[in-house]
Structure 1
Amino acid sequence: MREEIERQRRREAVLAGRAASVRPVVAASWRRMRSRGLDPGGGPRVAPLTGAELERRRAESPLAPLLPHLRRALAPAVEQSGLLAVVSDAEGRVLWRTGEMPVRRLADRLGFVGGSAWTEGNVGTNAIGTALVLDAPVMVQGGEHFVDSHTFWGCAATPVHDPWTGRTLGVLDVSGPAPAMHPHALAMVQLAAQVAELQVREQHRAGLDRLRAYAAPLVHGLPGPALVVDPHGHVAAAVGTSPPARVPLPDDLAVGTTWLPTLGPATAEAVPGGWLLRLDGGATPGASQLVLDLAGDVPTVTVSGPSGTWTHRLSPRHTELLLALVRHPEGRSARELALDLFADDTRVVTVRAELSRLRRSLGPVLEHQPYRLSSSVEARIELPTDAARLLPGSSAPVVTALRQEAAG
């Protein structure tokens, strides 16, 4: 009893910021939770999805075809250790759970049920939510959870990506009572996710090979520069131009004229399995306006220039990065952006990698040394009327600060 009281005192001291005896990844997450005003003694803030909405998300999940593989890969952990295998979507919503009745009952007590939102902002530090924030594998054990009622629980999770597009497809998690969590649980979920990602890559690669076979005779002899791309912008064939391996495409690409930030004006024609893009020539026009739209369910960026407008859906990480840059037109260093996103100035490598990916989409709109928007771009943010709806799944300090300003 005395040891338990002492452990609780140490935990309270760390939560209050008077001590630093937890791992850096956990300490950074707790700083994000404190900045959000999350109560360690509270419960979930977001209600689970309705049955109909949960079924819709399951049917539309890109992980649904991979379920047989994921269940086979995690069966040893579930069957031998009495743990729970969980698959969530990219928003941290629990889609599927597999495990014996006793552990499912324990999960029910936590609200860890189908359709629940297992994000940091909803339930505090946990493997699924923190893995989504960091876009990296995470294990959280016992008292490392931010919320008091979760301190008997353990969890190990890793994001599952589409390696073809870079999009996060969801999260794979193993959870259960902390004493039952094996140290190798995290390695197990990582291996299962890696095999699943290889399957996704091979499906895309086969589609691109079919498109190449069709595109080669199609572009031969065209009078001007052109290229054929798959629906994700990967180049299958090109003539009269040397494009990158992948071209960012607008989300609303349709037959007719369009504008590509990295290539300029183009005319799009639909072909089986992709698009034929005839390049209209001339220098790529400079952008004059950027709108970061956070008012809808899916954040988007719209870039306008002399030759047209281009709209692109943003990942959660790119939304947070772009928000930080719009709010700081003077520019930010990688260290400052790491604090803006993670409350952790050691994550500069992650920031630089994500900015490199974002720049491939936005082209000359982004500059560096320091990282900033081009001085020729007029930028603005569109916010929801209710501050609580502003990126509800994000725990980034830059988002928390904007929520407080919008609410106040």
Structure 2
Amino acid sequence: MEAPVTTSVHTLRTAHEQFVTTPGASPQVRDLVADSWRRCAVRGAHPDGSHLPPLRATAAELTAYRRAHPLAGALPLFRELLGDGAADDGHIFAVADTDGTLLWVEGDTATIERGERMHFAEGAVWSEARAGTNAPGTALELGRPVQIVTGEHYSSAAHAWSCAAAPVRDLSTGRVLGVIDLSGGSTIATPPALAAVRGAALAAEAHLARTTAMPTTTPAPDQNGARLNVLGRDSALLEHGGRVLRLSPRHSEIVLALALAGHGVMGDRLAVELSDREVPPSTVRAEMTRLRAVLGPALLGSRPYALLCPVRTDLGEVSALLAEGRVAQALGRYPGPPLPRSDAPVVVEQRRCLEQQLRGAVLGSGDPALLRRWVDADWGADDTAAWSALARTLPNGSPQRAAAAARARGLDLAEALPLQVVGHAAVLQRARS
């Protein structure tokens, strides 16, 4: 995750003015924001604040929609984690759906009224395409937590605001359900604010997984659904309609990105998720044409690109088991990281998040059997902390304890040696000069 900006308000607004008034100017801001500004410019977003985000629904329509939305079940948790103290800090929190429509906006009354003047209100659409660079919209665009401060907003109407937002996913499928956002003044332009929304999103994911994990009746299999297996393999397996398709590595990345999005994805966003380098739209279209020939038009839609049926992933199932505290079962269902050779940003991020969740759960379990399984696997063989934790859980005097402790010490020395070599080289260089 990119670190929050520390640039001054004046510098940011100068950079914004230069970008929007000078054709071809390179944005003098951090990469995440520069990429977003470029997307906004291509999509025709208005940087001068003259076009406020549209209000999508009437009050009655919004009430009915919110009642049925899956994030309604997490609203009490958001109020507890983010709403307390809002009046003292002068901030508000908002919950939006996958299109960026604000479903709930709560918190400090005066800040709510300020937000309403620029249409940051329930029923307004704060997607990046409609509102320009902003935390909830850009978090949905990238599928990861984002912090946007003052002049980093593309629309000057929001330059007095700072915000931090994180997507909330369905852990059983990996699909994005919506986004949780904190907005306000200087207190939101801080690392704790970003940590708060990320923590609230993780807590909501775990809460929703628990409340849906034990249905009262066993549902019939969804004959129209699909299952995607990506763990421990470079070529994903897609099961659908009685067929099992082995996808190419590139098609594996695309289908995983679409499954994680849970809604339509435009070609320019898909290109960003698949590569750090600029990918021409024609290349994306050609790849999607080839993928449609493999999957068929009944499964892959276009404009925007989307999978046309529910898709469960083995990645999501492992995350759901971890959210339920079933660490042994999660580790047993983990044959390795998703698409291990892929360097697509969306895959790298999912790989990192799942490994962090699984590793943290194993280390925190204090279970020697789980720790042994972790260090015996390729991905845990050089995990110094895991070897140390294993040594601590084994009986004093045990040969296995001594072996685990020796392995941890050996890894520590191996990690320290390159630093020592660099240090000695620096000393010699100074002596020669």
Tell me the TM-score range normalised by the shorter chain.
0.5 to 0.7
Cα deviation for residue 74 of structure 1 reads 0.7
Does residue 177 (structure 1) correspond to residue 185 (structure 2)? The answer is yes
Determine the C-alpha separation between the residues in 2 that align with 1:63 and 1:118. Answer: 17
Determine the C-alpha separation between the residues in 2 that align with 1:9 and 1:20. Answer: 10
The letter for the 2-side match of 1:260 is G
Match of 1:27 in 2: 34
Does residue 57 (structure 1) correspond to residue 65 (structure 2)? The answer is yes
Match of 2:276 in 1: 345
Tell me if structure 1 keeps the 8 A contact 2:150–2:159. yes
Determine the C-alpha separation between the residues in 1 that align with 2:243 and 2:269. Answer: 27
Cα RMSD of the aligned pairs, angstroms, is 4.3
| 1:365-380 aligned within 5 A | 372-373=290-291
Match of 1:103 in 2: 111
Determine the C-alpha separation between the residues in 1 that align with 2:239 and 2:87. Answer: 44
Structure showing the higher helix proportion among its residues: 2
Cα deviation for residue 163 of structure 1 reads 0.5
Structure showing the higher strand proportion among its residues: 1
| 1:315-394 aligned within 5 A | 319-320=264-265, 324=267, 340-341=271-272, 345=276, 372-373=290-291
Change in 2 beyond 3 A, CA 1:207/1:234? farther
Match of 2:173 in 1: 165
Change in 2 beyond 3 A, CA 1:128/1:163? same
Change in 2 beyond 3 A, CA 1:247/1:78? farther
Determine the C-alpha separation between the residues in 1 that align with 2:301 and 2:214. Answer: 40
The letter for the 2-side match of 1:56 is A
Secondary structure of the corresponding residue to residue 112 of structure 1: coil
Cα deviation for residue 232 of structure 1 reads 6.6
Change in 2 beyond 3 A, CA 1:193/1:32? same
Which residue, 213, 237, 262 being the options, matches 1:205?
A: 213
Cα deviation for residue 125 of structure 1 reads 0.3
Q: Which runs of 5+ in 1 are unaligned?
A: 216-227, 236-245, 250-258, 264-283, 287-300, 302-312, 325-336, 349-354, 356-366, 384-389, 393-408
| 1:229-244 aligned within 5 A | none
Cα deviation for residue 5 of structure 1 reads 7.2
Secondary structure of the corresponding residue to residue 262 of structure 1: strand
Determine the C-alpha separation between the residues in 2 that align with 1:95 and 1:134. Answer: 20
Change in 2 beyond 3 A, CA 1:155/1:346? farther
Determine the C-alpha separation between the residues in 2 that align with 1:4 and 1:189. Answer: 23
Determine the C-alpha separation between the residues in 1 that align with 2:274 and 2:174. Answer: 24
Change in 2 beyond 3 A, CA 1:177/1:230? farther
Structure 1, 87-96 or 14-23: larger mean CA deviation: 14-23
Determine the C-alpha separation between the residues in 1 that align with 2:210 and 2:32. Answer: 33
Query: 1:317-371: CA deviations, max 9, x gaps?
Result: 7743xx75xxxxxxxxxxxx777346973599xxxxxx9xxxxxxxxxxx99x99
Determine the C-alpha separation between the residues in 2 that align with 1:193 and 1:5. Answer: 32
Percent identity among equivalent residues? 31
Match of 2:137 in 1: 129
Q: How many residue pairs end up in the alignment?
A: 273
Change in 2 beyond 3 A, CA 1:6/1:137? closer
- Relative to the length of structure 2, the TM-score reads 0.53
Tell me if structure 2 keeps the 8 A contact 1:84–1:104. yes
Match of 2:18 in 1: 13
Match of 1:223 in 2: none
Query: 1:219-248: CA deviations, max 9, x gaps?
Result: xxxxxxxxx67997689xxxxxxxxxx986
Secondary structure of the corresponding residue to residue 70 of structure 2: coil
Change in 2 beyond 3 A, CA 1:13/1:89? same
Query: 1:257-290: CA deviations, max 9, x gaps?
Result: xx33428xxxxxxxxxxxxxxxxxxxx9x9xxxx
Structure 1, 41-50 or 24-33: larger mean CA deviation: 41-50
Secondary structure of the corresponding residue to residue 40 of structure 1: coil
The letter for the 2-side match of 1:71 is R
Tell me if structure 1 keeps the 8 A contact 2:53–2:131. yes
The letter for the 2-side match of 1:14 is F
Does residue 83 (structure 1) correspond to residue 96 (structure 2)? The answer is no
Query: 1:375-397: CA deviations, max 9, x gaps?
Result: 677869988xxxxxx659xxxxx
Change in 2 beyond 3 A, CA 1:50/1:133? same
Query: 1:3-51: CA deviations, max 9, x gaps?
Result: 9877643322234442332111100100101111222113225333111
The letter for the 2-side match of 1:21 is Q
Secondary structure of the corresponding residue to residue 130 of structure 2: helix
Q: Which runs of 5+ in 2 are unaligned?
A: 1-7, 229-236, 248-254, 306-433
Does residue 46 (structure 1) correspond to residue 17 (structure 2)? The answer is no
Match of 1:260 in 2: 242
Tell me if structure 2 keeps the 8 A contact 1:32–1:343. no
